[in-house]
Copies of this chain bind each other. A is one copy, B any other.
């Protein structure tokens, strides 16, 4: 391709809102242009790279037997009402009313559409397992889109959905997807951190996120300095530890009886610390939570006698619409609401309203404690189990207890790990020190169980003619974000430094001046390189050599060939060959250039692609 015949509008200046390298470089290299806040158009160069990422993903999906289909981007709101997500997705769901006043959705994800498509096709166990995917437009109505295509409103996602007769088959495909994701990112030249993740609003259990480190990442990751433990803070665990005030559970016998003390005008832990001249780790902080759609059996739980489970949709599990809990945790720690919701088998958990706190504790906000609390079940974080001489709220204005011991003075209804793990905590696997990183999610694989298949009424008949609900998995990768992340990882001050696997072209030929013998040599060389299977950009523009060099560096093509009169005119005609990643160019005989570059490109592709 000749430079003059494509459209690569490179720029020297940077748009004001481009704060990260990929946004700046994609704009400057003429890969993208902005249509509107959070909406970007790929120009020819950007689209070439985009398609390479797309092809890599498609190849790896096909390799594990997932089948490509193409549903619509706009789907009936009806399907989202069936699954319940019409209500639960919130404002990021772009809703449309058509001219007949029917509800539609511009898809942000497609569990519903895929499930609807296969719903009538899975009459028999012989159709299972079935894994389908699409590579298609998605929309999320981000309130504050930022960072170019890294967090845009419209983007392209590969999303796969699989259906299985049982957990074993789901596990197998889930592992195959995980392996495919590792290959995909490797082929793209990306260093990803696979982390345990909470499956959040997607429902179900079992999931893995594929993260790239990023200072503007919207995820906090906890990583171990000693082993390869990595987890999203939403799900991270740590080794149990003991604070100064509860060194040994065994010491409980020596603790004085629990005692109510006056703590006038003291409400928050910090004030209490100052008042009692002690530390936060000596307190049992108690918070009242409200959880919704709780699946956990509460029939024998304190204060829950009047709660009744019901089924939100046919086939959906029975849940309590809402329930309240007291969560007790060591005073220096925070409750992780995602972990709490998981422990309660609830779709969501959040701090209760003040009025509910007052009703439940019989005291103003700030005096909750587990001792004597009967209105709701007490959930104790693991850290509380060993606390035998703690301060805690006394369910009375301006009163606290001291010498409170878990087990002696109160018995938690449930003990669970609900703390938010922080840097400095200990790795749950090896005890090493955990540290934090910011990460961006590129891919995510989930086991969804029967959440959608049950609510949307999917069933199949087994060998004996008995009806069952299949289980489901879902597997997504954001293409735009993957592309931007490649640039984040592969650039320097001059521009992008593409891995060959996703480079828009493998080679750029720069004639010092595109005329006469140099033109002939460049045209012939381009043909020869293309015949060897390489993608070639020939910079035929009437520009100064410096401009062409800068553009070649900016655009980031892996191999650069410079041809000029002087080097071509010698006894052995030569050209200058330079790798984008290297500083120095070398003179290579013209007749050896194609073979050398073709071999190098092939070797690099093989290294990235593995045995494939």
Q: Which residues of A contact B (CB under 8 A)?
A: 5-7, 9, 33, 35-36, 39-44, 46-47, 50, 65, 67-76, 78-79, 91-92, 94-96, 98-100, 106, 113, 116-117, 121, 127, 130, 132, 137, 139, 141, 143, 153-154
Whether B35 and A75, one on each chain, are in contact in the complex, defined by CB atoms closer than 8 angstroms, is yes
16 A-B residue contacts at CB 8 Å? A5-B65, A6-B67, A7-B121, A33-B117, A39-B75, A41-B69, A41-B70, A41-B72, A42-B71, A43-B69, A44-B132, A47-B69, A92-B99, A94-B96, A95-B96, A96-B96
Whether A73 and B72, one on each chain, are in contact in the complex, defined by CB atoms closer than 8 angstroms, is no
Whether B41 and A100, one on each chain, are in contact in the complex, defined by CB atoms closer than 8 angstroms, is no
Question: In the complex, what residues of B have CB within 8 A of residue A132's CB?
Answer: 7, 44
Kindly state the separation between the CA atoms of A121 and B8 in the bound complex, as whole angstroms. 10
Question: In the complex, what residues of B have CB within 8 A of residue A47's CB?
Answer: 68-70
| Closest Cβ neighbor of A152 among chain B residues | B72
Question: In the complex, what residues of B have CB within 8 A of residue A39's CB?
Answer: 72, 74-76
Whether B36 and A76, one on each chain, are in contact in the complex, defined by CB atoms closer than 8 angstroms, is yes
A376 → B minimal CB distance (Å): 35
Question: In the complex, what residues of B have CB within 8 A of residue A36's CB?
Answer: 75-76, 78
Question: In the complex, what residues of B have CB within 8 A of residue A65's CB?
Answer: 5
Question: In the complex, what residues of B have CB within 8 A of residue A154's CB?
Answer: 72-74
Q: Kindly identify which residue among B71, B95, B106 contacts A74, using a CB–CB cutoff of 8 Å.
A: B106
| Closest Cβ neighbor of A75 among chain B residues | B35
A395 → B minimal CB distance (Å): 41
Q: Kindly identify which residue among B35, B67, B69, B106 contacts A71, using a CB–CB cutoff of 8 Å.
A: B35
Question: In the complex, what residues of B have CB within 8 A of residue A121's CB?
Answer: 7, 9, 33
Main secondary structure of the interface of A (DSSP, over half): mixed
Whether B76 and A113, one on each chain, are in contact in the complex, defined by CB atoms closer than 8 angstroms, is no
* Copies of this chain per assembly: 2
| Closest Cβ neighbor of A7 among chain B residues | B67
Question: In the complex, what residues of B have CB within 8 A of residue A96's CB?
Answer: 94-96, 106
Whether A35 and B141, one on each chain, are in contact in the complex, defined by CB atoms closer than 8 angstroms, is no
Whether A7 and B130, one on each chain, are in contact in the complex, defined by CB atoms closer than 8 angstroms, is yes
Whether A44 and B68, one on each chain, are in contact in the complex, defined by CB atoms closer than 8 angstroms, is yes
A481 → B minimal CB distance (Å): 15
Kindly state the separation between the CA atoms of A42 and B73 in the bound complex, as whole angstroms. 12
Kindly state the separation between the CA atoms of A79 and B39 in the bound complex, as whole angstroms. 13
| Closest Cβ neighbor of A33 among chain B residues | B117
- 20 further A-B contacts with Cβ under 8 Å, apart from A39-B75, A41-B72, are A6-B67, A7-B67, A9-B121, A33-B117, A35-B72, A35-B76, A35-B79, A35-B117, A39-B72, A39-B76, A44-B68, A47-B68, A74-B94, A74-B106, A74-B154, A92-B99, A94-B96, A95-B96, A96-B96, A99-B143
Question: In the complex, what residues of B have CB within 8 A of residue A127's CB?
Answer: 7
Kindly state the separation between the CA atoms of A75 and B106 in the bound complex, as whole angstroms. 13
Closest 6 CB pairs of A and B: A41-B71, A42-B70, A36-B76, A72-B154, A91-B99, A44-B67
Q: Kindly identify which residue among B75, B78, B137 contacts A73, using a CB–CB cutoff of 8 Å.
A: B137
Whether B153 and A74, one on each chain, are in contact in the complex, defined by CB atoms closer than 8 angstroms, is yes
Kindly state the separation between the CA atoms of A36 and B116 in the bound complex, as whole angstroms. 10
Question: In the complex, what residues of B have CB within 8 A of residue A116's CB?
Answer: 35
A16 → B minimal CB distance (Å): 15
Question: In the complex, what residues of B have CB within 8 A of residue A41's CB?
Answer: 69-72, 113, 117
Kindly state the separation between the CA atoms of A143 and B101 in the bound complex, as whole angstroms. 11
Whether A73 and B73, one on each chain, are in contact in the complex, defined by CB atoms closer than 8 angstroms, is yes
Q: Quick one: which of A5, A69, A79, A132 has the most chain B CB within 10 A?
A: A69
